[in-house]
Amino acid sequence: MKRNGILNSSISSVLSSMGHTDLLCIGDCGLPIPDETKRIDLALRFNIPSFLETLDVVTDDMAVEAYILAEEIKDQNPEMMENIRTMMNKKFPNAVECFTSHENLKEQTKTCKAVIRTGEITAFSNIILVSACIFATQG
């Protein structure tokens, strides 16, 4: 039995199979997930688990060089945007922050290795993480 890191076998499997520039999405419970994209559904009840706690755990096990948010988060959920920025700046100070329309973000989920669905119920609480090259980050 695994002692540390992500215990969810589906998430662990996806992370271990990712390469440089592969995409992984973490979304709120309302984000539509394309049939062709692997769905890892963690949602139990509204806000359980939350988007931020899921993002925190996943990014403890993943190297990130960039992340993509919906442009709409700026006006519709600025508190969440700031929470994401704070977390990402702390963990990945050189990661590039990108914005796209919510429609385009939903379209991009088709190219993600997986979409992790949380119980989050706040608007535009979705992120696409771009995998970094792990050996380039070793010092």
Q: Which residues participate in catalysis according to the annotation?
A: 20
Q: Cα–Cα distances in Å, from 55 out to 28, 135, 138, 139?
A: 11, 22, 22, 25
Distance of CA 43 to the CA centre of its chain: 14
Nearest-angstrom CA–CA distance, 37 and 97: 23
Question: Which long-range contacts link 6-9 to residues 24+ away (Cβ below 8 Å)?
Answer: 6/57, 6/58, 6/60, 6/61, 8/40, 8/42
Look up tokens 């992340």; give the residue.
67
Q: Residue 25 is inside which H or E element, if any?
A: strand 23-27
